[in-house]
Amino acid sequence: MLIRRALLALTISAPFWSCANEVETAAPPNVVVILADDLGIGDLGVYNSESKIPTPNLDALAASGMRFTDAHSPSAVCTPTRYGILTGQYSWRTRLKQGVFQGEDTNLIDVDRVTVADLMHDAGYATGAFGKWHLGLGALADGKTNWNEPLVPGPLEHGFDEFFGIPASLDMAPYLYVRNHAPEQQPTDHVEDSERVRDGGAGFWRGGPIAPDFAHADVLGRIVDEASSFIESRAAASDGKPFFLYLPFTAPHTPWMPSAEFRGRSGAGPYGDFVAMVDDRVGHILSVLDEQGFADDTLVIFASDNGASWLPEQVEQYQHRANGPWRGQKADIHEGGHRIPFMVRWPGHVAAGAVRDQLLCLTDIEASLAGVLGVQLPRDAAEDSFDQSPVWLGSSDAAPRTAIVSHSSRGLFSIRQDSWKLVLGLGSGGFTPPATVEPEPGGPIGQLFNLAADPAETTNLYSANPEKVQELSALLESYQAEGRSRP
């Protein structure tokens, strides 16, 4: 942060944040961003009337705010999506070209980069992050994370005043809690690969080092408790600062470990029961906001970081489509990989019960919050972020972005414009077999779909429509080269 500030001081003579709007609008709201992990758009009743999972809290959140039907994660897997949320930039512009980080990878975010937490912090917010970090901890030069040294750079070097959470996914060792710059306990014990079914749940975790106080089943509850304490601490604070709370849940990612209260709650097995628990924990956070008197002054965003990991046999077994009508699943380039639930609530400012079909990417959060606050981002920040705040606040229905770039776990690209979607290769690019397909001689080398006529991406029009292929290829190349153009 200090380095970034020093560089900015050399290059910018005007105040760091200048007001974009002359007109003073509402007082800056508190902002809460809740990110579910591997939750499917079809899990939520408000998106799928045939869901086998009760999601009353998320359905109510949607009813009291605005939900988007064409929202996407920038990637179909965890780390690059989290990178995109916090920086407004695609991860494929960094050293992480595909896949995800493991538990001892070093920090991905350049310390000079203005993250969304920097934006909020510099605008006078108290900032906290609680949950699954999964962006690496420690310096790249160290090769891997050294748990005995201060975990720098980490969340506190990217704009957060406070952090509590776990380094990576809940199925990735080492298993420990980090508070600010250090583990609460060192991972001095060892845990074996888990059984596929345990403790009334399912899924698995990888074997490896674990802290003596760490129990996988406790993690979601701990994160929510810590976030609740942060909200309560802000209610008690006398500094007058609004707050920014980034709350990336570890669930319903594997291991699926619903507590006893939720087992059997859904018709979609341990996964569905875990989703019901996620819904309940979102409801708890909203109730804490209510109890502390913040509900009317808080902009709440809820989204998932990618599609659900849900196989065709599970669709068959439970008659439940976790990814709704969309093809494929988590990690894939097809819509099931990255078409996600997205909702935003700010009472009195965002229309209650509104449904919008404008394209939205989670990279847009940074520019959109800058828009809400009326501050101007530096030109070299958040280059893949479009300001969606006019849509959220009802001042315009014009789509802030006309195209969207998506990316699969194996690094396959796609671009959407209007109803057309071009994929630069064959196969799913992710978990659904075949992940990769060699082109036949004379056959198509990519995939082209018209989602309006063919939402399930069943008919490849690549060979039949070379003009559209060429047009979208050129558009994708321009996005890859330039990002969005900033005025």
Residues designated catalytic:
78, 134
Stretch that binds Ca ion, among 77-85, 146-154, 231-239, 368-376 (CB under 5 A): 77-85
**In what side-by-side order are the strands of the sheet with 413-417?**
403-407, 413-417, 420-423, 447-450
Residue 427: name the closest of 443, 445, 442 by CA. Answer: 445
Q: Which of 36, 37, 475, 476 binds Ca ion (CB under 5 A)?
A: 37
Instruction: Give me the 300-339 binding string for Ca ion, x by CB under 5 A, dash otherwise.
Output: -----xx---------------------------------
**Closer residue to Ca ion (CB): 36 or 382:** 36
Neighbours of 354 (CB within 10 A): 17
Q: Least distance (Å) from Ca ion to the CB of residue 466?
A: 36
Residue 406 sits in the site that holds Ca ion (CB under 5 A) = no
DSSP-derived letter for residue 29 is P
Hey, CA dihedral for 361, 363, 369, 372, is it positive or negative?
Answer: negative
Are the C-beta atoms of residues 150 and 196 closer than 8 Å to each other?
A: no
CB of 190 to Ca ion, least distance (A): 26
> Which helix (H) or strand (E) covers residue 234, if one does?
helix 219-236
Least distance between Ca ion and beta carbon 310 (Å): 13
In angstroms, what is the minimal distance from the CB of 76 to Ca ion?
A: 9
Q: How many residues bind Ca ion (CB under 5 A)?
A: 5
Return the closest-CA partner of residue 168 out of 133, 140, 203, 194.
Answer: 133
Q: Which of 29, 38, 258, 337 binds Ca ion (CB under 5 A)?
A: 38
In sequence order, the 6+-apart residues with CB closer than 8 A to the CB of 15 are none
Which residue has the closest beta carbon to Ca ion?
A: 78
Nearer to Ca ion among residue 66 and residue 340 (C-beta):
340
Kindly state the smallest distance separating residue 248's Cβ from Ca ion, in Å.
9
Contact window for Ca ion (CB under 5 A) among 34-42, 61-69, 429-437, 446-454: 34-42
With b for 16 or more beta-carbon neighbours within 10 A and e for fewer, the 115-147 pattern comes to bbbbbbbbbebbbbbbbbbbbbbbbeeeeebeb
- CA torsion 210-216-221-223 (nearest 10°) is 40
By CB under 5 A, residue 78 contacts Ca ion: yes
Closer residue to Ca ion (CB): 38 or 59? 38
Q: Residue 119: which residues within 8 A CB-CB, separation 6 or more?
A: 159, 366, 369, 370, 373, 375, 377, 381
Tokens of 96: 């992480």
Binding flag, residue 162, Ca ion (CB under 5 A)? no
Nearest approach, Cβ of residue 305 and Ca ion (Å):
4
* Contact footprint for Ca ion (CB under 5 A): 37-38, 78, 305-306
